[in-house]
Amino acid sequence: MSKVIFTSPEQAEATFYQAMERMDLEAMMSVWAEDEEVVCIHPGGPRITGLASVRESWRQVFASGARFHVRVMGEVVMRGLLMSVHSVNEILFVGENGDQPAPPIVATNVYFRGAAGWHMVSHHASILPHADIPQDIDTRHGSNTVH
């Protein structure tokens, strides 16, 4: 598989969330670094390490058939020359019409820049306890980012 070259961590992150919504395993894995040290933690799940295990975890998520739409907001970015850390709030909308909000999630996405561009090395997502869903969230399908 030829690796996609992402010219910025923001481009890799946009592809990550688009792949999640489309349930596109190949697009999802194009975001991840080809490294056995990658780490993924899904909400309420264990720490998953290694590219093959991360791929299998996303295959299982997508195979569940659960359709959802993601809105990303409240992004805080710490970026250097070779690493970018993004702390975001994710609001998932589930259901047949994708209009029922699920509990809010806080996620940390870490990207490294190598010879093949920027790629994800870590995704850690956790459900926020006792969090309220912001009232100004747009539930229409469209842009993944709400500011």
pLDDT value for 144: 45
pLDDT value for 94: 83
Q: For the chain, what is the domain count?
A: 1
Domain-embedded: residue 141: no
Q: How far is CA 49 from CA 37, 61, 109, in A?
A: 6, 16, 15
Domain-embedded: residue 146: no
93 in Cβ contact with 68 (< 8 Å): yes
Domain-embedded: residue 109: yes
Q: Which domain holds residue 115?
A: 9-127
**CATH number for the domain including 82?**
3.10.450.50
Entry pTM: 0.86
What is the spatial distance between Cα 93 and Cα 118, in angstroms, rounded to a whole number? 28
What is the spatial distance between Cα 139 and Cα 142, in angstroms, rounded to a whole number? 9
Written as six digits, the tokens of 83 are: 């690493």
Domain-embedded: residue 133: no
- Tens-level pLDDT at each residue, the chain (147 residues): 447 999 999 999 999 999 999 999 999 999 999 999 999 999 999 999 999 999 999 999 999 877 789 999 999 999 999 999 999 999 999 877 667 888 899 999 999 999 999 999 999 999 987 655 555 555 444 444 433
Written as six digits, the tokens of 124 are: 């850690």
pLDDT value for 128: 87
* Residue 57, C-beta contacts closer than 8 angstroms, at least 6 positions apart: 40, 42, 45, 48
Domain-embedded: residue 78: yes
pLDDT value for 101: 85
Domain-embedded: residue 35: yes
pLDDT value for 95: 74
Provide the H-helix boundaries in the chain. 9-22, 25-31, 51-63
Written as six digits, the tokens of 144 are: 């993944």
First to last CA, the chain: 35
Domain-embedded: residue 60: yes
pLDDT value for 49: 98
Domain-embedded: residue 144: no
What is the spatial distance between Cα 106 and Cα 46, in angstroms, rounded to a whole number? 16
